[in-house]
Amino acid sequence: MPSFVSVYITCKDAAEAKSIAHNLVEEHLVACVNMFPVESVYRWKGKVQQHVETALVCKTHKILVKKITKRVKELHSYDTPCVVAWPISGGNKKYLDWVRDETKKQH
């Protein structure tokens, strides 16, 4: 089975998240993106911050993570956007076959 991952990205708002999601899907870098509001607490430039953001969970192939990270950095408003990948260790084979088919143009 190929190596699949979920890529987690946080965005400043729903509009930015939708724009990034559409770009990643249209460019066949990811097969699917789920979007949901999250409340984030973090330290930035010495101060504790708290903001409502929109998170993306993208399903894709492991070998595309570098391309996805580069593309998100081009599209994102943050200086240091959160882009992290988690391995998918199993699941519905037909779904994972679909993820593979949707992203195969990029790998």
pLDDT, tens digit, for every residue of 8-30? Answer: 999 999 999 999 999 999 999 99
Q: Whole-angstrom Cα distance, residue 10 to residue 53?
A: 6
Global pTM? 0.94
User: What is the CATH number for 83?
Assistant: 3.30.70.120
At residue 2 the predicted structure's pLDDT band, cuts being 50, 70 and 90, is low
Range of the domain at 82: 4-106
End-to-end CA distance of the chain: 15
